[in-house]
Structure 1
Amino acid sequence: MCGIAGFIDFSKKSDKDILQRMTDVMQHRGPNDAGYEVFEHPAATVGLGQRRLSILDLSSGGHQPMHFKHYSIIFNGEIYNFKDIKKELEKMGYTFHSGSDTEVLIKGYDAWKEQVLDHCIGMFAFVIYDQQREEVVMVRDRAGVKPFYYFWNGRTLLFASELKGLCEHPLFEKEIDVNSVSLFLQYSYIPTPYTIYKQTRKLKPGHLLTLRLNGQEPEERSYWNVLDSYRQPLTGLSQHEVIQHTEALMKSAYNYRMVADVPVGVFLSGGYDSASVAAIIQAGSGSRIKTFTIGYKERAFDESAEAKKIARHLGTDHTEWIVGASDALDILHQLPEIYDEPFADNSTVPTTLVSKLAARQVKVALSADGGDELFAGYNKFNQSLRYTRFSKRLQGLLSNTMSMLNPEMIPYFNKQYNFASRYEKMKLIWKAGQPQYALKYISQYLTESEVKHYMQVAPEKYRTSFDLNGELNEVNDPLNKLLAIDYKTFLVDNNLVKVDRATMSVSIEGREPMLDHRLVEFLSQVPASLKVKDKTNKYILKTIVHKYIPQSLMDRPKRPFIAPLQEWFKDELREQMQYYLAPERLNKSGLFNVPHVQALMDRYLTGGNVSHQKLWNILVFQLWYDRWMEKL
């Protein structure tokens, strides 16, 4: 696990000092070693920089940039099955001088070029400079576990694991993309491929970006797409066979993620996803694995007691930390540095805290993101299907009727929590009449029309993976279509960003065993009738977990892993919100409709039924703006 950065500069204005600044600003991603090299090509200057967090082969044998023949590589991530690939390459005549997966990757690239990716089980973002073919190839893993940002202005391409790396280059242009601000206010994150800055993109998961030095236009193309898996025919396996094969894949995926030369632990929230990781790994371990849990003083949000019972049953070495608003306040001002793009999932706070807790004992922590997307755990999937079960004619009639009414004028209901927004969403859901758009609107905190009231400038509409049109028309069933969309949106740009930045901020490696592509590909062909059975979401996963943990310990209402911000904002964090949402501070960016935001905050603080997430999104943006746009 590392941080990588670099440039391909046709203007030849970049040098090693700039490369070192771009790389070292991400020292938290790799405190153990650093490497910087600049290559002079007749057409361009190429810079490759890497900060290393030593997980596999702790010796200097893993130093980067690494070279072989005419190739140079910088690598962020892990290839879990590198020993298997190494054996294949040794049969082909390759020899090795280290225990590093990076050496396996560069020699695999020599043997198979881009097809080496077909051999890899892992998470990765890497860059290979091929001096013979005069090209630089940039790659991101199938799920997007590892980040990769790039900036292109027509003459210079900059890349880095985090945006802060790009910001260190003097040619980088920090111009806010107002259309991305609109997306952020809608979803609380900025969907791929967009970023907060113009001319700056996230490399899409499962994609390669190639820049040939004898030309000057980068080419991005796909090598793996989850939609291809969801287009396949449904499996003909029986329920028993599906469960049996799923468990076998989980065991393989989970055990691969235990490969490390440093201590490994598991984040345990008390839900089925993390319980499955802890249970399967502990069952196959000869010693007690370490598990870590964050709890809250506010009991309505606290799952620590349940997590402790599961840990006790499994026999893990368990550590917990009960946190309160003062702990959140300590983290609040670190968030813009950790998440250097506006990012407002309110579980950033507990995720950062549990990472701090784990960092005292381990260097690798396994999370369980992807469980809800693969096994159909979120209630929003049920809602999307339920709300659109009527005929298109009836849905159209309902939408048209709602358009005639002002929700603020409807007695009783207009006093209910966030009623106007929910009213607008239902109107849009019935107007669209399709589950995929129901999922889009349910996923929004502000609809596109509401955003216009919050912003002074009128944003244009950016197309995202919520707006797939025809790509999944032949999909096997409506539920699987929703899972595919959530995999390409909320999973990659919310959950994976959250865990990567939180773990890396304290220099530990976060691993996502549920996102093994073999498990993803198999479950995409499992029918919805097995994923949600007898009105039970995650039927397959729950059946497997109950083999290891009694159902009596697991059965309880699903709680999201979030912080109790609604309570904290009205008490300990109240002053912070009032300070950053004051008119003089809101006016600095020139983006917000200040009276509208002020009115929203006043209603919230006086007990109005306002969604705190809307205010949290704006507060997070203000914190980001203060750090990255004002403190230049």
Structure 2
Amino acid sequence: MCGIAGFIDFSKKSGKDILQHMTDVMQHRGPNDAGYEVHEHPTATVGLGQRRLSILDLSSGGHQPMHFGQYTIIFNGEIYNFKEIKKDLEKLGYTFQSGSDTEVLLKGYDAWKEQVLDRCIGMFAFVIYDARQDQVVLCRDRAGVKPLYYYWDGQTLLFGSELKALCEHPQFRKEIDVNSLSLFLQYSYIPAPYTIYRQTRKLKPGHLLTVHLNRQELQELAYWNVLDAYHQPLTNLSQHEVIQHTEMLMKSAYNYRMVADVPVGVFLSGGYDSASVAAILQAGSGSRIKTFTIGYKEKQWDESAEAKKIARHLGTDHTEWIVGPSDALEVLQQLPEIYDEPFADNSTVPTTLVSKLASRQVKVALSADGGDELFAGYNKFNQSLRYTRFSKRLQGLLSHTMAMLNPELIPYFNKQYNFASRYEKMKLIWASGQPQYALKYISQYLTESEVNHYLQVTPDKYRTNFDLNGELNEVNDPLNKLLAIDYKTFLVDNNLVKVDRATMSVSIEGREPMLDHRLVEFLAQVPASLKVKDNVNKYILKTIVHKYIPPSLMDRPKRPFIAPLQEWFRDELREQMQYYLAPGRLNKTGLFNAPHVQQLMNRYLLDGKVSHQKLWNILVFQLWYNRWMEKL
């Protein structure tokens, strides 16, 4: 696991000193080694930098940038099946000087070019400079576990594992994209390919970006798309065969993620996803695997007791940490540095804390993101289907009727929690009449019309993967269509960002065993009737987990892995919120309608009938703005 950064400067003004600054600002991603190289091409200066966190081949043999023939590579991630690929390359006559997966990837690229990706099981972002073909290729893994950002102004291309690397280059212009800010306020994250900065993009998962040096052109190409898996015919395997094959793939995927030359552990929340990882790995291990849990002093949010029971049943070496508001306050100040783009998922706090806990004992930690998308775990999927089950005519009538009423004037209901927002969402859901748009509106904390009240400027509308339309017409059933959308939105740009930055902030590698593309592709072809059966979500996963852990330890209401911000905001974090959301500080940005934000905060503190997430999103932006736009 590493951090990579670099530039392609057609003005040839960038040098090694700039490259070193871009790379070293991500020292937390790679404290063990560093490499910097500047290559002079006839048309451009190409800078390649890497910070290394040694996980495989701890020797100097894994140093980067790495060279072979006409190629130079910088690589972030892991190719878990690199030993198998290495054997295939040896049969072709290739020899190896190290035990690193980087060398295997580099020589695999020499042998098969981009087709080497078809052979790779792993998570990765890499850049290859091909001196003979006069091009530079940027690549991101299928799921998007590893990040890669780039900035292009027509003259200079900058790239890096985190935005802070781009900010170190003097050509980078830190101009806020108001359209992206609108998306952030809606979802609490910014969906790909957009970022908070103008002219700056996230390289989309499963994509290659080729920079043609002689033509000074960029070409983006998809080599893998989860929709292709969902477009395949549904499997005709029986329920027993589906469960059997799923478990086999899970075992293979989970065991691959244990490949390392350093200690490995598992984040255990107490839910089915992480329990499946701990259970399967412990069952196949001759020693006690390490598991880590965060708990809260506020009992209604605390799952540590359940996680401890599961760990005791499995026989893992378990460590827990019960945290409180003071721990959260410390993390709160670090969030803008860790997440150098506005990012307001309120489980950033526990994820950062559990990463800190694990870093005391291990260098690799397995998370379990993707379980809800693959196995249909979120209630929002059920809601999206349930709310749009009526005829289009009836839904249109309901939406039309709601548009005639002001929710603030409806007695009794106007006093209920977050009623105006929920009313607006239902109006939009019935106006659309489609489950996929129901999912979009359910996923929003602020609707687009609400955002316009909070901003002084009116943003344009960016199209995101929530707006897929023709691309989904052939998806095999309504539920799987929702899973595909959530995979391409919330999973990639929320959950994976959260874990990558939290783990890397304390220099440990986060791995995502559930996002093995073989498991993803197979489950995409499993019908909804097996994913949700007898009104039981995650039926397949639960059946598998119950082979290892009794249902009595697992069956309880689903509880999200989040921080109790609702309580903390009214107590220990109240002062922070009031400071950063004060009119003077809001007006500094020139973006927010300060009186409207103040009204929202005052109402929240008065009766709590407002969603705290709306305030959390604005607070997080203010913290980010203070760090990245004011402190220049």
TM-score normalised over the length of structure 2: 1.00
Distance 1:413 1:603 in 2: 16
Superposed counterparts of 1:178-193, under 5 Å = 178-193=178-193
Superposed counterparts of 1:523-534, under 5 Å = 523-534=523-534
Distance 2:617 2:607 in 1: 19
Distance 2:215 2:49 in 1: 23
Distance 1:75 1:530 in 2: 39
1:577 aligned partner: 577
**1:292 partner SS:** strand
Q: Which consecutive residues of structure 2, in runs of 5 or more, have no partner in the other structure?
A: none
Q: What's the CA shift for 1:454?
A: 0.4
1:253 aligned partner: 253
RMSD over aligned Cα, in angstroms?
0.3
Letter matched to residue 109 of structure 1: Y
| 1:63 correspondence with 2:63 | yes
**2:607 partner SS:** coil
Identity over aligned pairs, percent: 88
Letter matched to residue 290 of structure 2: K
2:623 aligned partner: 623
Distance 2:438 2:603 in 1: 28
Q: What's the CA shift for 1:217?
A: 1.6
2:492 aligned partner: 492
Q: What's the CA shift for 1:475?
A: 1.1
1:160 aligned partner: 160
Distance 1:361 1:259 in 2: 17
1:285 aligned partner: 285
Superposed counterparts of 1:63-102, under 5 Å = 63-102=63-102
Superposed counterparts of 1:302-317, under 5 Å = 302-317=302-317
**Aligned positions, number:** 632
* 1:120-152 Cα distance to aligned partner (Å, 9 max, x none): 000000000000101000000000000000000
1:172 aligned partner: 172
Distance 1:105 1:588 in 2: 48
**1:176 partner SS:** coil
1:106 aligned partner: 106
Q: What's the CA shift for 1:416?
A: 0.4
1:610 aligned partner: 610
Letter matched to residue 88 of structure 2: E
Distance 1:607 1:25 in 2: 43
| 1:229 correspondence with 2:229 | yes
2:136 aligned partner: 136
2:201 aligned partner: 201
Q: Which consecutive residues of structure 1, in runs of 5 or more, have no partner in the other structure?
A: none
2:439 aligned partner: 439
Letter matched to residue 41 of structure 2: H
1:416 aligned partner: 416
**1:401 partner SS:** helix
**2:470 partner SS:** coil
**1:169 partner SS:** coil
Distance 1:238 1:460 in 2: 48
Q: What's the CA shift for 1:607?
A: 1.7
* 1:350-408 Cα distance to aligned partner (Å, 9 max, x none): 00000000000000000000000000000000000000000000000000000000000
Distance 1:347 1:17 in 2: 37
TM-score normalised over the length of structure 1: 1.00
Distance 1:100 1:18 in 2: 28
**2:623 partner SS:** helix
Letter matched to residue 37 of structure 1: E
**2:50 partner SS:** strand
1:480 aligned partner: 480
Superposed counterparts of 1:292-331, under 5 Å = 292-331=292-331
Distance 1:349 1:468 in 2: 32
Letter matched to residue 574 of structure 2: R
Q: What's the CA shift for 1:469?
A: 1.4
Letter matched to residue 197 of structure 1: Y
* 1:443-484 Cα distance to aligned partner (Å, 9 max, x none): 000000000000000000000000001101011100000000
Distance 1:301 1:431 in 2: 35
1:556 aligned partner: 556
**1:93 partner SS:** coil
Letter matched to residue 542 of structure 2: K
Distance 2:7 2:361 in 1: 36
2:466 aligned partner: 466
Distance 1:594 1:268 in 2: 41
| 1:566 correspondence with 2:566 | yes
**2:430 partner SS:** helix
Distance 1:246 1:185 in 2: 37
* 1:462-519 Cα distance to aligned partner (Å, 9 max, x none): 0000000110101110000000000000000000000000000000000000000000
Q: What's the CA shift for 1:608?
A: 3.7
Distance 2:12 2:475 in 1: 48
* 1:396-443 Cα distance to aligned partner (Å, 9 max, x none): 000000000000000110000000000000000000000000000000
Q: What's the CA shift for 1:216?
A: 1.1
Distance 2:315 2:591 in 1: 53
Letter matched to residue 152 of structure 2: W
**2:308 partner SS:** helix
Letter matched to residue 101 of structure 1: D
Letter matched to residue 583 of structure 2: P
